[in-house]
Each structure stands twice: as structure tokens, then as C-alpha cells.
Amino acid sequence: MKILETGGPRDDERTAPGDSQARVLIAIPTFRRPDGLRRLLTAIATMETAADIKILVADNEGADGAGTAVVKELAAAYRFPIEVIAVPERGLSSVRNAMIAYARRDVTLDYVAMIDDDEWPTERWIDDLVAMQRQTGAGTVGGPNLPVFAPGAPDWAAHCPLFVSDDMPDGPVEIVWGTCNLLLHKSAFAHSDSNLFDPAFNQSGGEDVDAFMRLKASGHRFAWSRSAVVWDDVPAGRATLGWITRRAFRIGNSNMLVQLRWKYGRHGRLLALPSTLAAIAANLGLLAVFCFSPSKRVTYYCRLVRSLGKLAFLTGLRSFEYK
């Protein structure tokens, strides 16, 4: 176990199943969640996999962080080779770019899989992701995140779009939306020295969507594996009106920056403002119509707040959730 300080083929090339053992780096960003990281590493160690696995933990708390301590505790008896790197520069992009930089230095890797420290995978998670990549030749493969709520969570939480995973069919998809359950083929990360995740999103989130839009613009393709499930811990503090309001607002705020870059183009703010105002009006009306339906009420509430976050960005207000 080492503690370090941070400092190919085309997307349409396919590897037939059984041609070779997949070499996978499971990259885990962590920040002050030692119990979650320990649960995740324990689950990874019990996976059923034919892949050649290495584990990288990137501790955004620094060299003396809680995540580093967990890796030191587990490393000697751990099933797979495991390393931890210290990423003292705080932020989502910083820690993810540090993991990609590490992966680029290992020319033997075929894939980087990403999973967060408040999640844990099903037993065949890696093999299911790899199988879908080999079947489709996609540069990026995602899978579902299924919530596990703390006891006493309100009934509406199960319908909240912030907790409900994407439900897409197996196979090629237009794009995926998050790094919390992800497999990157080396064609998506190995052949560039530039940051995959823009530091402009370090404290706001949205770095994943921006990165995927950049990959899509460069010709990379995406796929989805419904069986590659990870479980997502939803503590009691998240299943509250205050938390979902802050999160929905931040998502809308950061997504507007992404949309201005990749959707609206020149004169983007002038084009985005009418559609944003229309979305606010529509969701406000739908919220009023369905105010007595718990499942639909929370859906339209989140959409309304997300639209308000977009409007805030257009008026010059940035939301920084990760400080």
C-alpha cells in the first residue's frame, strides 16, 4: 500500500468477450466518510469477478484524511492491490482528475470504474459493466443507483427524482449522467493530458455532465447496463425538504452552465432565459395541480427548484454546494 501526493484505441474498437482478462482500476473518491468507505471496500472484496482488479482511493481530505486511515487499516489483508493518493486541493473535479491522471500512468489498464464512498456494488457489478462495454464498444458505460433509505424516511422520498435512478434499457444510450456508477474504457481517458473534469465545477458539481458532453462531442459513445447495480446510502439528513431543495437548486444552477456551453451556443443566455421562465411557470402550475399527490408533488417541486437554480445562474448567481 502506497500513499502518494498528486501532482489508444478508437472508441469503436471492440474486445470480444473472452479475448483477454479485463484490467480494471476501481477509483473511489472519498471525503470524511470512513464508515462508508469501509463498507464499500468490504463489498468490493466480496465481488464475483473474472477481472484483474486494482483499487485506488483518492482522499480529498489530504494525506492525514480519514479515508487514508481506512486504507492503511485494510491494506495488508485486502483481496486486491490497493493504493491511496492524497488530493489536498479540495473539489470534485480535482479529485476525479487526480484519479484519471493516476490511471493514465498505468498503460496496462483497460478500464477505470468509478463509484462513490457512500455506495456499494452488487456482486457482479464490474463484470456486468465490462460485458456491456465489450458488447457495444462504447467508451463509457453506466448503471443504476438504487437508494437505501435510513429507517423513518418519509414516503415521498421513494418518488423523489433526486433519489430515483435513471431507468434506461440495456445497450447503447445517448449519454449517461453521473460518475457514481461508471466504467470508462481507456479510449475515453488515456489519450489526452488535459483535464477530463473542468475545475470550474470543483465546488458546484456538474463536472460529470460537462465531461460527458465533451466526450460525446468528440465522438465517444455511451451504453447502459441495467444489471450493474450499485446501492446508494440515503441517510436521514438527506430525506428532508431542506436537503432536496438545496440539491435541486444546485443541480439546476450547475446544469445551466453546462447547457450554455453545449446546447445554446452563441447568445446562449438570451436563448435560455425564455425556456427557463417557461419551465418555472409550467412546473409551478403542475405543482399546484398535483399538490395532493405525494409522488407527483415531489417530482414537480424538484423540477421547479431546479428551474429556479437555472434562472439564478442566468442572473449571475452561482451555487456552491461543495466547500
The tens digit of pLDDT for each residue in 96-107 reads 999 999 999 999
Q: In what order do the strands lie in the sheet with 52-59?
A: 3-5, 82-86, 52-59, 23-30, 111-115, 181-185, 140-142, 222-224, 171-173
pLDDT at residue 193, rounded to an integer: 78
Hunting for cell 415521498 — which residue is that?
Answer: 156
What does the alpha-carbon distance between residue 80 and residue 46 come to, in Å, rounded to a whole number?
A: 10
**The three cell numbers locating residue 128:** 456486468
Element (H, E) at 184: strand 181-185
What does the alpha-carbon distance between residue 239 and residue 311 come to, in Å, rounded to a whole number?
A: 25
The count of other CB atoms within 10 Å of the CB of residue 104 is 17
Question: Which DSSP symbol is given to 3?
Answer: E
Q: Which DSSP string corresponds to 46-79?
A: T----SEEEEEEEETT-TTSHHHHHHHHHGGG-S
What does the alpha-carbon distance between residue 257 and residue 186 come to, in Å, rounded to a whole number?
A: 27
Element (H, E) at 126: helix 125-136
Is this model's pTM higher than 0.75 or not?
A: yes
- Please say whether the beta carbons of 224 and 168 come within 8 A: yes
Residues 259-268: tens digit of each pLDDT = 999 988 777 8
Question: Which DSSP symbol is given to 166?
Answer: P
Burial environment of residue 70 by CB neighbours within 10 A (0 to 12, 13 to 18, 19 or more): buried
What does the alpha-carbon distance between residue 64 and residue 19 come to, in Å, rounded to a whole number?
A: 42
What does the alpha-carbon distance between residue 10 and residue 137 come to, in Å, rounded to a whole number?
A: 9
Phi, psi (degrees; rounded to nearest 5) at 204: -105, -15
The count of other CB atoms within 10 Å of the CB of residue 199 is 14
**The three cell numbers locating residue 135:** 458488447
What does the alpha-carbon distance between residue 254 and residue 173 come to, in Å, rounded to a whole number?
A: 23
pLDDT along the chain (323 residues), means of 10: 39 45 97 97 97 98 95 96 96 96 95 98 98 97 96 95 90 94 95 88 93 94 97 96 97 95 84 95 96 93 97 93 74
> Taking phi first (over 0 means left), then psi (-120 to 50 degrees means alpha), and beta for anything else, what does residue 207 get?
alpha
What does the alpha-carbon distance between residue 286 and residue 278 come to, in Å, rounded to a whole number?
A: 12
